[in-house]
Chain A
Amino acid sequence: MTLTLFQGTMEQALIYSLVAVGLFISFRILNIADLTVDGGFTLGCATSAVATLAGHPFLGLLLALFAGALAGLVTAVLQTKLKVQPILAGIITMTALYSINLMIMQNRANLPLLKCDTIYTWAAGWLPANLCKLLLLALIVALVLLGVFIFLRSGLGLSVRATGDNPDLVRSSSINPSHTITIGLCVANALVALSGALLAQYQLFSEITTGTGMVVIGLASLIMGEAIVGRGGLIRCLLGTLVGSAVYRLIIAIAITSSLQPSNLKLISAIIVAVSISWPAIREKLAVHKLKKAAMQAAREEDSHA
């Protein structure tokens, strides 16, 4: 792998790590499989692209954050106030977002941003030209991670974390769990949309299908990160999202440079997620099998002695 390719891979890893952080909040902390992500990622892309076309790349990032939080809010209201099952609530929002994203992109499936000013061209003005994207992204991701870290340790963040852990406790400490779920989903989807917004300006286009399968990709990164870094404290978990995202992007880069078809990547992601989530169950089955085998072996030996 060349250095340029490696650098590009790390840039993408930084961008996509925000999806993993978002899923860390919804999937790990709130214990909700939030499918809003697929639509929310494209929403971020679309919002950012339209704003960039209009000459406001930074406003694009802010708008994407806001739009993502709004998408999270819709999902949260569906599941907390209107009692729609959490998975279905996400699917409903995701489906609606497909049309909304098209609307934002002025009914075009693809919106190119050629020759537009982006946050990266702005960074090239004051950062070393060959490293400007990497440094800018590192700065943004570091700021976001710091913000999430502070948030999750604050009083409000503690209640959000307790919601996924023990909703009874949240209720009994006089906090409405509906509110904490709503806040958590808003933050998670704002981060996902920000990730999409950074990507649109990075790849210089926004496409309606960009977000498809993003939940699985994000989960794959999250879970691989946990496998490598471990699931200890908050800092470890947040670093894990970065590491997992980097590993995932490296796998993809290697797959693309080898003979593997890029279209197989989603299959690979799906397998990674399916295996890693079912790993505890598989391990248990294997352990039981081993135990049985040992017991049978022991019984046979006893028989032969007798």
Chain B
Amino acid sequence: MLELRHVSKTFNKGTPSAKQALNDLSLHLNAGDFVSIIGSNGAGKSTVFNAIGGSFLVDAGRIFLDGQDVTFLPEHKRAGSIGRLFQDPLRGTAPNMTIEENLALVYLRANKSRSIFGITNKERDFFREKLATLNLGLEDRLKSKVGLLSGGQRQALTLLMATMITPKVLLLDEHTAALDPATADKVLELTRRIVADGHITTMMITHNIGSALALGNRTIMMNEGQIILDVSGEERARLTVPELLELFREKSHTALDDDRILLRAD
């Protein structure tokens, strides 16, 4: 479904502050894979997402999405097949527009056969039905401005918007890190359910080692722009949090250094 072939990226090339963020990185994801990604600060986790999403063009290598070469496709043209969530819950929604307008923004885009007179009642019913699956009571607040919602509600809404038209790949960049623990668990559970229901190919960056192992079918560890560990299946099922940390130390010759890392095993 998604393939990165020998991708490299250096920021500030040719200056003293040059930083190789991706170093000849190759990765292949099968359809329906749910990959969790962990790594130290500056390991290149978010850079991989930016490369896939098209925030910048890579220096070398090729990126394929569902068989199509997207290496040089501009960001907004890839966006149709990529769903993205960021740590900041404010990033994925328009605060001064209502809940239904936010949903319509992504939905009407994909359905050209729409009424020119805005949102129809049929679409409204569909939005209500979708919102009800979030269990946040948002289905009764279609006309509320999104700016009035809490961070958790906005992130849940963003998740719904990103997956309403099933994307070819869903990129989650620490999307629960800015939420309180209870809300984070709720959004994570929603993520698990939506991804499973839609069989969506997903990559999730997390600093919670516990959820990295608990969610998905594959875990990748990154260091200095490279993948240093890639576990799945039987091997991953047997892995515990301490073992994973030990593996990281072995592979990278340093301790996992992330000031926000969470070692909870739940």
Contact = CB atoms under 8 A, between A and B. Distances in A.
Interface in B71-129: 74-80, 84, 90-97, 101-102, 104-106, 108-109, 114, 116-119
A155 to B, nearest CB: 4
Contact of B116 (A150, A171, A174, A177): A150
B84 A172 contact: yes
A158 B101 contact: yes
Contacts, number: 70
B76 A174 contact: yes
A96 B64 CA distance: 46
A121 B175 CA distance: 63
A165 B101 CA distance: 12
Given A161-B97, A172-B79, A150 B105 contact: no
Contacts of B90: 166
Contacts of B108: 155, 158
Contacts of B74: 176
A100 interface: no
Nearest to A29: B96
- The dominant DSSP class at the A interface is helix
Interface residues of A, number: 20
A171 B76 CA distance: 5
Interface residues of B, number: 30
Given A174-B79, A175-B76, A150 B109 contact: no
A297 B84 CA distance: 53
A168 B173 CA distance: 15
A153 interface: yes
Given A165-B94, A166-B91, A172-B84, A155 B104 contact: yes
Contacts of B116: 150, 154
Nearest to B111: A155
B117 A171 contact: no
B37 to A, nearest CB: 20
A171 B104 contact: no
A165 B102 CA distance: 11
Nearest to A177: B76
